[in-house]
Structure 1
Amino acid sequence: MNGLRLKDSFTAFNDSSPGIGAIANLKGKIVYQDTFGLASCEHRIPLQLNSVFNLASVSKPFTGMAILQLMERGELCAKDKLNRFVPELRHYAGEVTISELAHHSAGFTDYNDLLWQKARQNALHSDNAEILSLLTQQKQLRFTPGSAFEYSNSNYVLLALIIERVTGLSLRDYLKQYIFGVTGMENTTVFNEEQPVISNRAYGYERYGESWKCNYADTFATGAANVFSTLEDMKKWDDALYGNLLLGEEAQRAIFTPGLDSSGKPLTEFWGGYSYG
């Protein structure tokens, strides 16, 4: 990049602020990489290429990939009804399909909103079981499934539950065996009670006036969030998206195909069209 460094472009950060890092991957080759700033401001730990980030909603593509793998193996299909896998929601959402969950057209209230209603916010011990319990208490969807796009983290928690019930594996174990292990993503994991401490972790911060506040709060909810990974591992993931390491050619096309509404029109032009995370 002609000698340009991240610190030249991101002037809001410095060597004593929360850090930032980037790898530019061109056709499988790293053409640029750089980090600066701190992984932990409290302990003055510099950010490095092997620092482990909370991917937040960038965790969703891994859930989407797992669903596509199960489809390719014939263990489920896009038109399967939620009721087949999660009968607890049959009283109002049994007709929702896997495709509608994956493309955010199912109509479920976001579980964060339900937690806020309980004054829990992002409480540490909110997990998929609690989220399913909250969704079970609801009486109706926000709109007719397939009629609209509305981003909801609940959709991907439900996809995680489907993966677990179909395979008999936790999402953490499934991703480790069929995605992280296959791609060589050795420093990538799903945060849960089995591994509450993440080595080399880079923490997130929010700006409050002239100071930074560590945004430490975690949940044990999976599917929608809670994958932790490094820049180097994400380069391996990017490579895998354009090869046949994880999916065959036909199934792989679904990753890059925007979802359609019930009339056959693209659900959203936002982000270029959303598909499987």
Structure 2
Amino acid sequence: MSSLQIKDSFTAFNQNTPGIGVIANFKGKTVYQDTLGLANCEHRIPIQPDSIFNLASVSKQFTGMAVLQLMEQGELGARDKLIRFVPELRHYADEVSIYELAHHSSGLTDYNDLLWQKARQNALHSDNAEVLSLLTQQEQLRFTPGSAFEYSNSNYVLLALIIERITGLSLRDYLKKYIFGVIGMENSTVFNEEQPVVPNRAYGYEQNGENWKCNYADTFATGTSNVLSSLEDLKKWDAALYGNQLLGEEAQRAIFTPGLDSSGRPLTEFWGGYSYGWMIQERCGAKTIWHTGGDAGFRSIIVRFYEQQFSVILLSNSASLDWSETYAFIERLFNEFGQAGI
């Protein structure tokens, strides 16, 4: 049994604060699991493996999977133009492709910046319709599509809209039918303007002096954020990515292939690469795909050391999560449990 405990590695949390949950999997088996703190501070409900967290930008990988599924089915092409599906943006985004949306090289302004310009603090309660309205009001891109990498949440909101327009399903219903339902993620959903009741839901918190401030939601935009899930369900997601329940082997290669600019060079070296909701990078001397998330008091990260079949999933309902402590903790887990897979 491991002597590694969350309480010894994360200084901001204890049994009376918002907290953190971690699960590490090796070749399909849970080799480490620990939780600390409260999912709901008002009712003093502790975090459990089935507590439901907002994954924030970790949500993008589910949108990416849906896009790849539609590509595999021939409903969508990587080089299809955005305006084929979203003609509202034809006056300035006519050259943006699906590939550029998925790899953050479209040149579209991040909708959060547009909302802040409107003095909408923290993008509160924006939804996809408002995001599209704001983007429609713009007159130009930030750069020529395909020429540079710039992370923009607008890209994945538009991908969600495209999924919905092709399938006739809301993103929530699409993911439930073709991803969550297929692999048994029974407690995962998409939180949007309908504000569904979600059993076992954790709430996000930020420190306000000596007290904690509860965040209900920063945004209702989907595709880019607002997948709600648990450690238990994300273990199923991780396991499914080794098989072909969701996507054939050839189509899956796109997840592990860094996006390229229009001249054939890697779009970003900072993260090693980016593709369909995953960062592609070497960590701890091993190849990984990974992503972080941060929104509404939540922080999340999934790191998949796929050659070792070792993964770490960490969910927190506190904006006080220290990323340096997080990365150090993941490295210790890899050194203790993941090395056996080399």
- Same structural fold, with TM-score higher than 0.5 when normalized by the shorter chain: yes
- d(CA) in 2 for partners of 1:51, 1:103: 31
- CA shift, 1:123, in A, is 5.0
Over aligned residue pairs, what C-alpha RMSD do you find?
1.2
- CA shift, 1:42, in A, is 2.0
Aligned to 1:262: 262
- d(CA) in 2 for partners of 1:109, 1:66: 23
- d(CA) in 2 for partners of 1:7, 1:233: 24
- d(CA) in 1 for partners of 2:125, 2:17: 29
Q: Does the 8 Å CA contact 2:66/2:175 hold for their aligned counterparts? A: yes
- d(CA) in 2 for partners of 1:35, 1:86: 43
Instruction: Describe how 1:1-277 pairs up with structure 2 within 5 A.
Output: 2-277=2-277
TM-score (norm 2): 0.79
Which string of whole-angstrom CA distances, capped at 9 and with x for unpartnered residues, describes residues 159-216 of structure 1? 0011011111111110000000001000000012444332211122122332222222
Q: Which runs of 5 or more residues in structure 1 are unaligned?
A: none
Moved over 4 A (4+): none
Q: CA separation of 1:261/1:123 partners in 2, compared to 1, >3 Å: closer, same or farther?
A: closer
TM-score (norm 1): 0.97
Aligned to 2:340: none
Please, which moves more after superposition, 186-195 or 222-231? 186-195
- CA shift, 1:120, in A, is 1.8
- CA shift, 1:7, in A, is 1.0
Q: Which runs of 5 or more residues in structure 2 are unaligned?
A: 278-342
Q: Does the 8 Å CA contact 1:122/1:217 hold for their aligned counterparts? A: no
- CA shift, 1:2, in A, is 2.1
- d(CA) in 1 for partners of 2:269, 2:211: 37
Please, which moves more after superposition, 114-123 or 150-159? 114-123
- d(CA) in 1 for partners of 2:164, 2:238: 25
Q: Which amino acid aligns with 1:106?
A: S
SS in 2 for 1:8: helix
Identity %: 83
- d(CA) in 2 for partners of 1:214, 1:156: 26
> How many equivalent residue pairs?
277
- d(CA) in 2 for partners of 1:104, 1:84: 19
Which string of whole-angstrom CA distances, capped at 9 and with x for unpartnered residues, describes residues 123-161 of structure 1? 554211111010000000000100100000000000001
Q: Which amino acid aligns with 2:141?
A: L
- d(CA) in 2 for partners of 1:121, 1:78: 35
Please, which moves more after superposition, 11-20 or 209-218? 209-218
Q: Which amino acid aligns with 1:227?
A: V
Which string of whole-angstrom CA distances, capped at 9 and with x for unpartnered residues, describes residues 40-87 of structure 1? 112211111110000000100000000000000001110000111000
Please, which moves more after superposition, 235-244 or 116-125? 116-125
